[in-house]
Amino acid sequence: MAAAKLEYIWLDGYKPTQSLRSKTKIEKDFSGKLEDCPLWSFDGSSTEQAPGGSSDCILKPVFIAIDPQRKDGYLVMCEVLDSTGAPHESNGRALIQDDDNDFWFGFEQEYFLWDPETNKPLGFPASGYPAPQGPYYCSVGAKNAYGRDIVEEHLDACLEAGLNVEGINAEVAAGQWEFQIFAKGAKEAGDQIWVARYLLERIGESYDVAINWHCKPLGQLDWNGSGMHANFSNTTLRTAGKKEIYDVILEAFRPVVAEHIAVYGADNDQRLTGKHETASIHDYSYGVSDRGASIRIPLYTVQKGWNGYLEDRRPNSAADPYKVAAVIIKTVKSAKV
């Protein structure tokens, strides 16, 4: 059997926003199964995760997918452990309390395709700006849709890898796109988002296009920022059957706004202004079909007799889905229903 290329992927310790890191491990006679991926290590002093005098950190494989771009390749998402084998302080996945996979998450990942030469999104002229936002959302045609070849290659790669991508679309600003991933289980939802981000970054290399995950890369200009809306449910939300249960859960979020905002992505004050389909970072609100609220109650949920899910619109595009899921789960579980 040919030697397998296992791309071990992890999150570094940079603050306030972690970055993806990866390196390749060659395994002979590899089965393709997660349980046969060995622990590995890396130099944590080079990733802000350990001092130079004691630099070993451990990679614990937690999710595996086919690597659609490499012969005999696999993508292996890993948690980071410290030298004692305990979860590293940068390990957001270890914070998730969802061992029974009762929580389902669907993340809507927005991002900008970014031209490193002009330091602007694709579709922006070298000087000045394109026409105001409006015609770009779900657009088609060379005048409004920019970078579709990259987006289509990424979609195919994700599907070939076995990721549960549920859709893609051009977003409100020029050069801005979105993909959506859903999983039954918070940890796997986070795993799949990170692997999809990794694939997008790697595909961008061949086009000399960067992926800008910042939530407001165009500053305070009149352009939408980027979010990672978190759609979530558990058995209680899926089978509530009454508005009152939803009200109790939604009110549980009110006293812990600061705890949520702390992990919903850096610079979110630039995005959560109360404009551009956002609520103010200083407020907490919810409403049926309200994209200007902190948490939207989907019309689907109401039409199904208050059996469904909720959408937290506050997480931004650079947020760690593990940490977002962990704090949402904690808050929902705290509700006295």
Question: What confidence score (pLDDT) does residue 22 get?
Answer: 98
pLDDT in the model for residue 276? 76
Query: Which pLDDT belongs to residue 54?
Result: 82
Asked if residue 96 belongs to a domain, the reply is no
pTM above 0.95, yes or no: yes
Grade residue 274 by pLDDT with cuts at 50, 70 and 90: confident
Cβ 196 vs Cβ 155: under 8 Å: no
Backbone φ, ψ for residue 271 (5° rounding): -100, -45
CA distance 148 to 141: 10
| Residue type present at position 250 | L
Q: Of 60, 91, 122, which residue is a domain's last? A: 91
Q: What kind and span of H or E run contains 297?
A: strand 295-297
Are both 39 and 176 inside the same structural domain? Answer: no
Which residues lie closer than 8 Å to 116 by C-beta, 6 or more apart?
208, 209, 210
| 1 pLDDT above the threshold of 60 | no
Residues 32 and 156 occupy one common structural domain = no
Q: Residue 167: which domain range?
A: 104-334
Are residues 63 and 194 located together in one domain of the fold?
A: no
Q: Residue by residue, what is the 3-state secondary structure of 186-211?
A: HHHHHHHHHHHHHHHHHHHHHHCCEE
Question: Which pLDDT band, with edges at 50, 70 and 90, does 104 fall under?
Answer: very high
Regarding whether 132 and 82 lie in a shared domain, the answer is no
Question: What is the structure's pLDDT at 126?
Answer: 87
Let me know: does 195 contact 183? Beta carbons within 8 Å. Answer: no
Instruction: Tell me how far CA of residue 264 lies from CA of 25, 192, 281, 316, in angstroms.
Output: 33, 18, 11, 6
Domains contained in the chain, number: 2
Provide mean pLDDT across the span 294-298.
98
